[in-house]
Amino acid sequence: MKKLVILGSTGSIGTQALQIAAASEDLQVVGLAAGSSWEPAVEQARQHGAPVVALADAGAAERARSAWDGRVLGGEEGIRELIASAGADLVLNGMVGAAGLGPTVVALGEGIDVALANKESLVIGGELTMALAEAAGARLLPVDSEHSALFQLLGAEQPGTVERLVLTASGGPFRGRTDLEGVSVADALAHPTWRMGGRITIDSATLMNKGFEAIEAHHLFGVPHERIEVVVHPQSIVHSLVDLNDGATLAHLGYPDMRVPISYALHFPERADVDVPRLDLAAVGELTFERPDTETFACLRLAREAGEAGGTAPCVLNAADEVAVAAFLEGRIGFTAIAAAIERVLEGMPAQPVAHFEDLFAVDAEARRRTEEEVWGLTTV
């Protein structure tokens, strides 16, 4: 029986992970963590028999305590305590944004494997996070669909046989367009194939999400940036590909459904039954591929440059993106201003080497402050 802690349990990934755990005889949920939505978190704990709930928002933790007899931990230190004290064999990190890095560090530091749905843990802190996992003997199991695909494809390969990783991108709602000046928030939120939260949906529309995924893949699989490619594939049936040294290319296919990669990460190295529709290629009919337009979708270029620069650059990239996307979602700046703001902030904060996680937290804060200033300058209303 694998003991599981789920961080971000009330989000989309967390909710699906909980359903998979409930249906599995091999997984036992020993703790849940959420931000401020204490009522759904307590309801989940009741329903799934989780003895501990941690809430990042201390006020929400207070209210949960008065409504539930189980153990409630509060604040960021509450989440750290949950990870360190719940006796977990595996922590699923489904938290959103830079806030997910700290909990990943705590889990790995305790030698606990992490099923990683929080991209920022690797985008911001990739070098340090991978070094920590290695030193602690803990494993990072990717939950992101593309990385789960690569992880499965690479599983049986000997070192030195991999020539290239190819990440597929749906292209988002604006694929094929070159005039994105006046697009609305509603247009940008209408993602063609995946249903996700606000920020990641905007990141998919700008292709920043794919840029983050390339950085994530670089760290997870130790492949240099120049050997990681992005190809636009609107049907989202091929989740990623691997080119090998003998000319073979391996691909991972399936309908887009996050339950498949979540189940794989939770049950690894086993596989469990997942009740999803089986791929019918004749019904799909056609799979198409095209090169990304990095001129219109400047975020993909910015992410590539930040990844190659390394050090603090991906941390700046992520912080600037979080602030710029929030400003777009609030209607304060236009869609194309997202990339413009990020580029200005990256230019003003050239890459520095990173020695400690604390360095990253300081850089993250500084990049957010600078992006707020850029956003003021770009405000349209």
| Contact between 322 and Mg ion per CB under 5 A | no
Q: What would the x/- binding string for Mg ion be over residues 122 to 161, using CB under 5 A? A: ----------------------xxx---------------
Q: How far is the CB of 164 from Mg ion (least distance, A)?
A: 18
Closest approach of Cβ 61 to Mg ion, in Å? 31
How large is the C-alpha radius of gyration of the chain? 20
Shortest Å, Cβ 135 to Mg ion: 28
Q: How far apart are CA 173 and CA 156, in angstroms?
A: 35
Q: Across the beta sheet with 140-142, what order do the strands follow?
A: 71-74, 52-55, 27-34, 2-7, 90-93, 113-116, 140-142
Q: Would you call 12 exposed, middle or buried from its count of C-beta atoms within 10 A (0-12, 13-18, 19+)? A: middle
How far out from the chain centre does Cα 296 lie? 23
Question: Please, what is the Cα angle at 191 between 333 and 301, to 5 degrees?
Answer: 60
Which tokens in the block code for residue 351? 């890459």
- Phi and psi (nearest 5°) for 140? -105, 120
Other residues' Cβ atoms within 10 Å of the Cβ of residue 302: 24
Residue 44 or 263: which CB sits closer to Mg ion?
Answer: 263
Which x/- pattern over 256-295 shows residues binding Mg ion (rule: CB under 5 A)? ----------------------------------------
Residue at shortest CB range from Mg ion: 144
Residue 92 CB, nearest approach to Mg ion (Å): 16
- State the virtual CA torsion across 97, 133, 13, 21 in degrees, nearest 10: -150
Residues contacting residue 195 through CB under 8 Å, at least 6 positions apart: 12
Nearer to Mg ion, 106 or 241 (CB): 241
The total number of residues written for the chain in this structure:
381
The C-alpha atoms of residue 58 and residue 78 are separated, in whole angstroms, by: 9
What token pair was written down for 284? Answer: 């799909």
Q: Read off the amino acid at residue 66.
A: S
The least distance separating Mg ion from the CB of residue 290, rounded to whole angstroms, comes to 18
Decide whether 144 or 321 has the Cβ nearer to Mg ion: 144
CB of 119 to Mg ion, least distance (A): 8
Q: Exposed, middle or buried, 340 (CB in 10 Å: 0-12/13-18/19+)?
A: middle
CB of 52 to Mg ion, least distance (A): 30
Min dist. Cβ of residue 132 to Mg ion (A): 23
Nearer to Mg ion, 53 or 258 (CB): 258
Nearer to Mg ion, 40 or 256 (CB): 256
| CB 353 to Mg ion: min, Å | 29
The whole-angstrom separation of Cα 101 and Cα 361 is 10
**Total site size for Mg ion, rule CB under 5 A:** 3
Tell me how far, at minimum, the Cβ of 197 lies from Mg ion, in Å: 13
Instruction: For residue 135, give Cα distances in angstroms to 76, 111, 112, 122.
Output: 24, 9, 12, 16
Nearest to 103, CA basis, from 78, 72, 71, 127:
78
Of 57 and 216, the one with the shorter C-beta distance to Mg ion is 216
Residue whose CB is less far from Mg ion, 258 or 367? 258
Measured from the CB atom, the residue of 112 and 143 that comes closer to Mg ion is: 143
Find the Cα–Cα–Cα–Cα dihedral 334, 340, 346, 348, rounded to 10°.
Answer: -110
**Closer of 120 and 144 to Mg ion (Cβ):** 144
- In the complex with Mg ion, the residue whose CB is nearer, 104 or 145, is 145
Q: Residues interacting with Mg ion, by CB under 5 A?
A: 144-146
